[in-house]
């Protein structure tokens, strides 16, 4: 039985006890998946599982579990998605007992941005792509009558290159085989490249990038770990942390808020950057904080349901902090 | 005044913001003042109840709003008036220090330390050292640039439309 068949079977059995199960279905064209809310048996047939299933569905949980008439929620999760649920559970942000997770092993998801870039480089227009096939470590796209083939590693989400948790953890169900843990690189290539720049160059880069931010807050709203909803300090007037002026400085300040509030919580799902309509490389910020957290406290968000997040505790003698040396 | 006496290398005042905890470091700065220790005058002190009250975003906001340096000082570990505020602060401040380089803000512009109420001399040393360092670094670069859709931006969009898929916006997407 394929992973998808198995997944459907598990959902079918569990559905009578659940108000809704969220997974993915084919979207408006061959290139896109879209979230699917399964409420009846028939809905299950529309479920898909492929590298197009990029969305981290955990984003719905904090809102949904507070919705009247929704008592129990099922969710299909990849490895990275499951870490959001683990972290939210640790922080007691979701009633874990009312959530049923259907886990899968994941071999990586497609980055539409990277694929579109490749296709356009080849002289085609993205609008002309009409089918996509995932074939081992190759991706084949039919575009304008031609078939273009790319290495999967060159068009997958950047997070998948460093992924250490491809198999969903702490789930009630698991469909298919465990996939091998095989990170392609230690550090995200974009971060590695960016770190080669001098401080001046970095500052100039952000100054330039931040003026493009339209402050749509998609990066915040799509983040599974952003739980403050209508109480976010970036939109509060009292205290007034960020003004409505959309200057580089104010937009940058907003990014600092998101990064700081995700310190020790960000599970590197990359949804913030994926959602950004102007493609700001804000994962550079998030990843740096993730690395700092790991180097200083040996902590990986959402990896261990029993662990205490480092910013909620302390050690009298810290292992890796040498603050007196200046 | 100190600048005139040669404690500082540059005579122009820069903006250094100090977040000092009420119980130790603010007292330490006061002790230094009462003892008439010579101190640089660039520092603007913001008194907080405890170093544990200092949100790293206070520091970011100060830096983004034009501070050239930010100094945080609290009670020594084990001496916190509220028992453990400075332990939490230490973790947050350390993370901020490690994070700053990616933004292009020189991490040298931010420092945190511990000074007790009786350590007037230590306060003098800390604030002088830090202010000197900021003077060596000079004024901090400011993030400027108006809203997303100013004239330059519109020109770039126009250019991009002309260039089609070769437009640099598409290249950024590959990052
Ligand atoms: S990060 Fe890992 S689990 Fe998440 S989509 Fe990529 S390969 Fe799958
Ligand atoms: S999604 Fe992008 S444009 Fe929108 S607020 Fe976030 S960074 Fe700015
Ligand atoms: S900040 Fe970005 S990468 Fe981190 S959890 Fe939120 S959406 Fe995911």
pLDDT tens figures, B17-47: 999 999 999 999 999 999 999 999 999 999 9
Residue nearest to atom 8 of ligand 3 (CA): A269
Which residues does A237 contact at the CB level (< 8 Å), separation at least 6? Answer: none
DSSP strand pairing (B43-48 vs B69-74): unpaired
Residue B3 is predicted with a pLDDT of 42
- How deeply is B91 buried, as exposed, middle or buried, from its count of CB atoms within 10 A (0-12, 13-18, 19+)? buried
Rounded to whole angstroms, what are the CA distances from B43 to A39, B20, B130, B135?
A: 62, 11, 10, 12
Q: What does DSSP say about strands A173-175 and B43-48: parallel, antiparallel, or unpaired?
A: unpaired
Nearest CA in chain B to A158: B175
Q: What is the pLDDT of residue A30?
A: 93
Residues of A in contact with B78 (CB under 8 A): 316
Contacts of A261 (CB under 8 A, 6+ apart): A226, A228
Q: Can you count the helices (H) and strands (E) in chain B?
A: 6, 4
Instruction: Compare all CA atoms of chain B with the CA of A293 and give the residue at the minimum distance.
Output: B95
Collapse the DSSP code of B54 into the 3-class scheme (helix H, G, I; strand E, B; otherwise coil) and give the result. Answer: coil
Q: What is the pLDDT at residue B169?
A: 58
CB spacing of B102 vs A194 below 8 angstroms: yes
pLDDT level of residue B168 (50, 70, 90 thresholds): low
Residue closest via CA to ligand 2's atom 4 equals A216
Integer Cα distance of A205 and A46 in angstroms: 44
Q: Are B144 and A195 within 8 A, CB to CB?
A: no
**Residue numbers in B near A278 (CB within 8 A):** 148
Name which of B79, B95, B128, B166 to mutate to probe chain A: the one with the most chain A Cβ atoms within 10 A of its Cβ: B95
Preceding amide of B141 cis, omega within 30: no
Question: What pLDDT is recorded for position B2?
Answer: 41
B37 CB-near residues (< 8 Å, 6+ apart): B120, B121, B123, B124
Spell out which residues of chain B touch residue A202, defining contact as CB-CB under 8 Å.
101-104
Please choose, from the candidates B42, B112, B43, the residue with its C-alpha nearest in 3D space to the C-alpha of residue B72: B112
Percent of chain B with pLDDT over 70: 80
The pLDDT score that the predictor gives to residue B153 is 63
pLDDT at B149: 56
The yes-or-no verdict on residue B158 having pLDDT over 80 is: no
C-beta of A279 in contact with ligand 2 (< 6 A): no
Neighbours of B28 (CB within 10 A): 27
Task: Tell me the backbone φ, ψ of residue A264, rounded to 5 degrees.
Answer: 80, 5
Instruction: Considering only the beta carbons, identify the residue of B91, B99, B106 that sits closest to A310.
Output: B91
Give the pLDDT confidence score for residue A93 in this predicted structure.
92
Nearest-angstrom CA–CA distance, A212 and B153: 8
Are A300 and A307 contacting, i.e. CB atoms less than 8 angstroms apart?
no
Which residue stretches of chain A have pLDDT < 70?
A: none
The pLDDT of residue B165: 63
The pLDDT score that the predictor gives to residue B4 is: 42
Band of pLDDT at residue B61, cut at 50, 70 and 90: very high
Quickly state the pLDDT bin for B148 (edges 50, 70, 90): low
pTM score: 0.91
Kindly tell me if the per-residue pLDDT of B9 is higher than 80.
Answer: no
């Amino acid at each position: 039985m394929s992973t998808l068949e198995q997944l459907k079977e598990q959902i079918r059995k569990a559905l009578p006890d659940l108000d809704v199960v969220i997974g993915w279905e084919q979207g408006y064209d061959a290139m896109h998946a879209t979230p699917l809310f399964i409420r009846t048996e028939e809905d299950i047939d529309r479920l898909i599982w492929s590298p197009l299933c990029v969305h981290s569905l955990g984003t719905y949980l904090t809102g949904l579990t507070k919705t009247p008439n929704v008592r129990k929620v099922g969710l299909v999760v990849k490895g990275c998605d499951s870490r959001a649920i683990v972290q939210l559970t640790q922080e007691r942000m979701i009633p874990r007992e009312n959530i049923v997770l259907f886990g899968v092993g994941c071999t990586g998801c497609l980055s539409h941005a990277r694929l579109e870039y490749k296709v356009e480089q080849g002289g085609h227009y993205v609008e002309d792509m009409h089918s996509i096939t995932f074939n081992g470590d190759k991706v084949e796209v039919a575009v304008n009558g031609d078939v273009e083939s790319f290495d999967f590693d060159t068009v997958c989400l950047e997070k998948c290159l460093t992924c250490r948790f491809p198999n969903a953890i702490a789930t009630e169900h698991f469909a298919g085989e465990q996939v091998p843990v095989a990170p392609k690189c230690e550090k995200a290539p974009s971060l590695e490249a960016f770190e080669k720049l001098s401080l001046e160059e970095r500052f100039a880069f952000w100054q330039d990038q931040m003026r493009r931010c339209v402050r749509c807050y998609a990066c915040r709203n799509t983040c599974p770990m952003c739980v403050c909803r209508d109480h976010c300090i970036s939109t509060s007037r009292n205290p007034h942390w960020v003004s409505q002026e959309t200057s580089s400085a104010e937009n940058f300040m907003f990014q600092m808020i998101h990064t700081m509030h995700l310190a020790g919580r960000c599970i590197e799902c990359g949804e913030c950057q994926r959602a950004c309509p102007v493609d700001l490389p804000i994962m550079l910020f998030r990843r740096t904080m993730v690395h700092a957290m790991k180097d200083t406290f040996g902590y990986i968000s959402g990896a261990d349901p029993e662990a205490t997040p480092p910013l909620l505790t302390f050690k009298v003698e810290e292992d890796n902090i040498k603050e007196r040396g200046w | 005044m100190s600048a005139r006496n040669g404690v500082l290398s540059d005579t122009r005042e820069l903006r250094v913001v100090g977040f000092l905890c009420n119980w130790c470091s603010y007292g330490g700065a006061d002790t230094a003042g009462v003892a008439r220790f010579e101190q640089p005058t660039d520092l603007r002190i913001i008194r907080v109840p405890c170093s544990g009250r200092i949100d790293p975003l206070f520091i970011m906001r100060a830096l983004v709003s034009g501070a050239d340096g930010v100094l945080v000082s609290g009670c020594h570990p084990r001496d916190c008036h509220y028992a453990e505020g400075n332990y939490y602060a230490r973790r947050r401040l350390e993370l901020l220090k490690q994070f700053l380089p990616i933004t292009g803000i020189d991490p040298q512009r931010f420092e945190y330390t511990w000074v007790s109420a009786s350590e007037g001399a230590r306060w003098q040393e800390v604030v002088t050292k830090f202010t000197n360092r900021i003077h060596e670094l000079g004024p901090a670069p400011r993030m400027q640039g108006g809203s997303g859709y100013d004239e330059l931006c519109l020109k770039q969009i126009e250019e991009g439309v002309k260039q089609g898929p070769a437009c640099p916006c598409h290249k950024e997407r590959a990052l």
